[in-house]
Amino acid sequence: MALTLFRRPAPDEPPTLEDELWPETGETWTPEGLTVVERYYNLANAVVILYTADHKEIGTYYAVACLGCHYLVTRDKHRTYSTRLTLEAAAKAANGHASTCRALARSLPARPDDDTARRLLRTWVLNMRRRDQDYYLHLRHFDSRRLELQRTDEWMHTELEAFAADRGDVLSATPSKYGAGIEYELLREPS
Ligand SMILES: [Zn+2]
């Protein structure tokens, strides 16, 4: 009965040695800074998560990531004006992926230390610059990297403001003209 070696523990059973060997695959994982809204199993019991890093009530941006393969979707390519992934579209994508993906669960992404997280964020910002124009940078532009970053919005604001203070040639941070918060403008690459 090989299966009994790897059976899942019932919630009210005391933990046993076998349970402790059972790795966390994302069934209860709550990465820092994100809200996991739904979870699905793929065909090999790897978890597909539907998450958001956006805490608005209306018009929230959702994303889907597979913790088996590297499937990750943050945009709805069927839409033209706004590519925001709605909850309905995200659920459809998550369910669709889960019903066809056969990848086994991989290790959950490790939470980087602060220095590494800061370096990642700064590298992404530099790589997001355009040659032709300045543009407003929003936290949602990092949605596809949040599983890697594992930091709160507050941490990101603090770091982006610090980056703007260090590198005024790359990023400006000013109080929003439209209410509370900070506006970030990513300045074009010098030609
Ligand atoms: Zn997958």
Residues whose Cβ atom is located within 5 A of ion ligand 1: 66, 68-69, 71, 101, 103
d(CA 105, ligand 1 centre) in Å: 9
pLDDT band per the 50, 70, 90 thresholds, residue 55:
low
In angstroms, rounded to a whole number, what is the distance separating the alpha carbons of residues 23 and 93? 26
The pLDDT assigned to 18 comes to 59
Q: Where are the domains of the chain?
A: 2-98, 114-186
Cα dist. 166→99, 120, 145 in Å? 47, 16, 23
Percent of residues in the chain assigned helix, strand, coil, to nearest 5: 30, 20, 50
Which residue type does 173 have? A
Whole-number mean pLDDT of the chain? Answer: 88
Tell the residue number behind the tokens 């994302």, with chain if given: 26
d(CA 12, ligand 1 centre) in Å: 30
Tens of pLDDT, residues 72-125: 999 888 877 778 899 999 999 999 999 999 999 999 999 999 999 999 999 999
Please determine, for residue 23, whether its predicted confidence score (pLDDT) is greater than 90. Answer: no
Largest CA-CA distance found in the chain, in angstroms, rounded: 67
∠ CA 111-139-164, rounded to 5°: 95
Residue 73 carries which DSSP code?
E
d(CA 89, ligand 1 centre) in Å: 17
Please determine, for residue 19, whether its predicted confidence score (pLDDT) is greater than 80. Answer: no
Please determine, for residue 1, whether its predicted confidence score (pLDDT) is greater than 50. Answer: no
d(CA 152, ligand 1 centre) in Å: 26
Q: Are strands 135-137 and 171-175 parallel, antiparallel or unpaired?
A: unpaired
Average pLDDT over residues 42-55: 92
The pLDDT assigned to 2 comes to 47
